[in-house]
Structure 1
Amino acid sequence: MTAPKRKKARANGEGTIYQRKDGRWEAAGYVLATDRRRKRVRVYGTTRKNAADKLAEKIADSNRGLPVATADSTLGDYLTYWLGSVAVHRLRENTHTRYAACVRLHLIPGLGTKKIARLTAKDVRTFLDRLRTTCQCCTQGLDTERKKCCTIGKCCQKRLSPLTVTYVHSVLKSALEHAVRQDELPRNVARNVKAATPRPRHFRPLTATEARQFLDAARTDRLHALYELALRTGLRKGELPGLLWEDLDLTTGTASIRRSLQHTRTGGLTHLPTKTRASERRIALPTECLHSLKEHKQQQDKERGTAGSAWQDSGLVFTTPTGRPLDPANLTRRFHDLRHSTATLLLEQGVDLVVIKELLGHAHIGVTAGVYAHVRLRLQRQAIDTLGVVLASTDDNPSVTAVVR
């Protein structure tokens, strides 16, 4: 008589693993949760090994002292864990700082006590609606010590802008999406809430005449080459100060955009990767920029001689008179409008949208098309007016008249 086949023994610390009725494999074990207590966590996989590997990864993190999000964690605990253990490794420092402020000021006060597994789309929708309509001075107690606003019974109605509400929503979606990818949640309920699309910031791009006047006025400035490069190529405010001479090929007339100079809280002025992968690009330099850059290099050589031992050799194209990096924050707040002006002027001259996207380093062509919708509308008007002229001239054009008949 054949002996019954013994079940495979589980390894020590492997947890419980079994196949569900729906065919998926479920693994469960105890880990260090975000509230610093040991709790049972469940993960799922298409195969036994897949589920076991996922659980093993969480147990390994737990054994190293890293908290693991569980289904019964509150959203506040989960967001704290996500910021400190996940987002910090994936976001640029300035972006992480903005995310952390968003979580601290809005998400934790508004939804922090909710169990992450019981969070619903209705909860998120109610929270966002309240965020849109509630005075932030009253909600955050900003004027308690100054005895203003709601503390004296005269609410100032200081509400968040639609853009900020959308940003808060996007941070919540990003956090919950990680929980879904890790099989901690079955779905991202924040994605089921459709937020109103905020109106883009209004800006007035320079006309061709104004752009020429701007370049003429900038010719006497020591950073004339920077302003010319900004208007003629649309480089970002952080990309320009981050340019190194080694990034430029003045013989072939090209520039490689590889980095951005940003002011971070911990490191001060720091070279960071470009905003997105699409932002890392090689662009052609206009002839006028080649001339101004060569003049700028001669001027920088003179400044290096004048500064002597005080010169800080950074290899940067644009510096202070002693060779130190330029802080992008010191450039005018309307500097970004030069970038919009570049795209607007190119669009008005009939340059293809794909070419403009590549020049500006947008990740998706939809970004380019969306930002410059006002220009496309004006070009449509010109096209319609042109067609109107053609349609109105049938009496003078026999061939057109024949076609119409």
Structure 2
Amino acid sequence: MPTPRDTPASRRSRANGDGTVYQRKDGRWEAAGYVLAPGDTRKRVRVYGITRKEALAKLTEKTAASNRGVPVPTAQGSVGAYLTYWLENVAVHQLRENTHTRYTACTNRYLIPGLGKKKLAKLTAKDVRTWLNQLRTTCQCCTRRLDAARNQPRCCATGMCCGKRLSPLTLAYVHSVLKSALEHAVREEEIPRNVARNVRIGTPRPRRFEPLTADEARTLLTAAQGHRLHALFELALRTGLRKGEILGLRWEDLDHGSGTASIRRTFQRTRSGGLTTLPTKTVSSERRIALPAPCLLSLRAHRKQQAQEKEKAGAGWVDSSHVFTRPDGHPIEPATLTRHFNALLRRAHLRQIRFHDLRHSTATLLLEQGVELVVIKELLGHAHIGVTATVYANPRELHQLGGKPQVARSGRRPTGAPSSYNLVA
């Protein structure tokens, strides 16, 4: 009677539940067995190898994962197909419209061209790393054929590559979008793990910005005197409110008696809804802040000016109840505010900065005045003090403070600076 050692490898019997293994006609070895699938069901899977040992090793790996309660991946489609599904059915309900628009542009521009044809279930960390390295080192004019579409080619189409590369910040953003999409695929049990999380690209340095000095802030406010939006520019510089938060302010949000403003909404232009009122950026962004005395004075003057404009417009006035409006009462476009701000900088002979950079300047100037970092965090509406310390505050000022956030004073009060606070005195 033959012993198991005498039996050919292809015919050796395996214990019940261990699956089967045999050699195919093409010479490869195939192993098959039942493993856990999504929905608490079981599914028969097949794996292949050059040798019997290799095929068994692959089956053993899947069986071990199944015994740990990890379902076998069910994703048979491509990465591109899943990204499209994720954007249209998942991200659209979880992200703000403008954020979703940026995610879509990033996906169509970088993710799908680079990884779209790969099978989702077979995507590896090596695939992601290789793709990111290619993005990091390849001229985007060449890769995306941007130069060929120009009326006057000046790069690849002329045989002289400009060497345009993605910035580290853009590369990190592209990587984060991929991680978000694959994370949802893991939650839906389409794949067992998020391979993008296993790829480290380093922490990019934030864009260096030199905040306005106290002298530059005074120059800006002096140049704004007489401008119909003087109160807006003063409010932005002294409180660090975001552009959308300022444009979304309504008179009902201001309490002149207590000298406070309630930040409840933001005002943006979206692709589908046009000018739209939206909730604040985060839960922490909805807050009540104390207004400095100069802001209260300029807001009172602004309200009188708005009453005169309303009387002059007559029947053409649109009562939007916004604090800052056009001369006919309509809300102000964010892009229009940017043009007004750039013109103000030119009038004041100041260097060109973004409107949002006033928010950075506020944090630094308040630190110079001795205001505690945690109070600035509440004033700006940040969820975490690390954002205030690493992004919005000047590293020089943090160094003077020892690099450590200061502890807030006790007592409940509207977030803001002390009553003696004078940002640009």
The bucket for the TM-score relative to the shorter chain is 0.7 to 0.9
2:359 maps to 1:364: no
Which of the numbers 26, 36, 46 marks the counterpart of 2:40?
26
2:101 maps to 1:97: yes
- Cα distance in 2 for partners of 1:21, 1:338 equals 55
- Cα distance in 2 for partners of 1:145, 1:232 equals 45
C-alpha displacement of 1:376: 3.6
- Cα distance in 2 for partners of 1:382, 1:170 equals 28
C-alpha displacement of 1:370: 0.8
CA contact (8 A) 1:243 1:257 kept: yes
2:79 maps to 1:75: yes
Which of the numbers 168, 177, 186 marks the counterpart of 1:162?
168
TM-score by length of 2: 0.73
CA contact (8 A) 2:247 2:322 kept: yes
- Cα distance in 2 for partners of 1:205, 1:140 equals 36
CA contact (8 A) 1:229 1:289 kept: yes
In the other structure, the counterpart of 1:35 is none
In the other structure, the counterpart of 2:395 is 374
Amino acid at match of 1:76: G
Amino acid at match of 1:97: T
C-alpha displacement of 1:84: 0.2
C-alpha displacement of 1:27: 2.8
In the other structure, the counterpart of 1:305 is 311
Which of the numbers 129, 132, 135 marks the counterpart of 1:125?
129
CA contact (8 A) 2:36 2:42 kept: no
Report the more deviating stretch, 140-149 or 164-173.
140-149
Q: Give the 3 Å change call, closer, same or farther, for CA 176–342 of structure 1 in structure 2.
A: same
In the other structure, the counterpart of 2:368 is 348
Of the two structures, which has the highest relative contact order with CA contacts closer than 8 Å and spacing of 6 or more?
2
C-alpha displacement of 1:21: 8.4
**Runs of 4+ deviating beyond 6 Å:** 19-22
TM-score by length of 1: 0.76
In the other structure, the counterpart of 2:191 is 185
- Cα distance in 1 for partners of 2:187, 2:78 equals 18
CA contact (8 A) 2:186 2:194 kept: yes
- Cα distance in 2 for partners of 1:143, 1:350 equals 51
CA contact (8 A) 2:35 2:42 kept: no
The superposition leaves residues 303-337 of structure 1 with CA deviations (integer Å, 9 ceiling, x where unpaired) of 00001111111000000111111111222462112
SS in structure 1 opposite 2:266? Answer: strand
2:117 maps to 1:113: yes
C-alpha displacement of 1:186: 1.6
- Cα distance in 1 for partners of 2:293, 2:354 equals 26
CA contact (8 A) 1:204 1:337 kept: no
C-alpha displacement of 1:25: 7.3
Matches within 5 A, 1:250-289: 250-289=256-295
Amino acid at match of 1:379: Q
Q: Give the 3 Å change call, closer, same or farther, for CA 296–99 of structure 1 in structure 2.
A: same
- Cα distance in 2 for partners of 1:283, 1:102 equals 36
In the other structure, the counterpart of 2:4 is none
CA contact (8 A) 1:149 1:155 kept: yes
C-alpha displacement of 1:28: 6.3
C-alpha displacement of 1:381: 8.2
Q: Give the 3 Å change call, closer, same or farther, for CA 279–21 of structure 1 in structure 2.
A: closer
In the other structure, the counterpart of 1:12 is none
CA RMSD in angstroms, aligned pairs only: 2.7
Q: Give the 3 Å change call, closer, same or farther, for CA 291–165 of structure 1 in structure 2.
A: same
In the other structure, the counterpart of 1:216 is 222
Q: Give the 3 Å change call, closer, same or farther, for CA 180–304 of structure 1 in structure 2.
A: same
Identity %: 65
- Cα distance in 1 for partners of 2:215, 2:187 equals 52
C-alpha displacement of 1:270: 1.1
Q: Give the 3 Å change call, closer, same or farther, for CA 329–145 of structure 1 in structure 2.
A: closer
In the other structure, the counterpart of 2:242 is 236
- Cα distance in 2 for partners of 1:21, 1:120 equals 21
- Cα distance in 1 for partners of 2:186, 2:264 equals 33
Q: Give the 3 Å change call, closer, same or farther, for CA 45–341 of structure 1 in structure 2.
A: farther
- Number of equivalences: 330
C-alpha displacement of 1:213: 2.5
- Cα distance in 2 for partners of 1:382, 1:79 equals 41
User: Unpaired runs of 5+ in structure 1?
Assistant: 1-18, 30-43, 52-68, 384-405
- Cα distance in 2 for partners of 1:362, 1:255 equals 17
User: Unpaired runs of 5+ in structure 2?
Assistant: 1-33, 44-64, 342-352, 405-425
- Cα distance in 2 for partners of 1:141, 1:217 equals 45
CA contact (8 A) 2:80 2:117 kept: yes
CA contact (8 A) 1:347 1:375 kept: no
The superposition leaves residues 186-223 of structure 1 with CA deviations (integer Å, 9 ceiling, x where unpaired) of 21111111122222112221222222232222121111
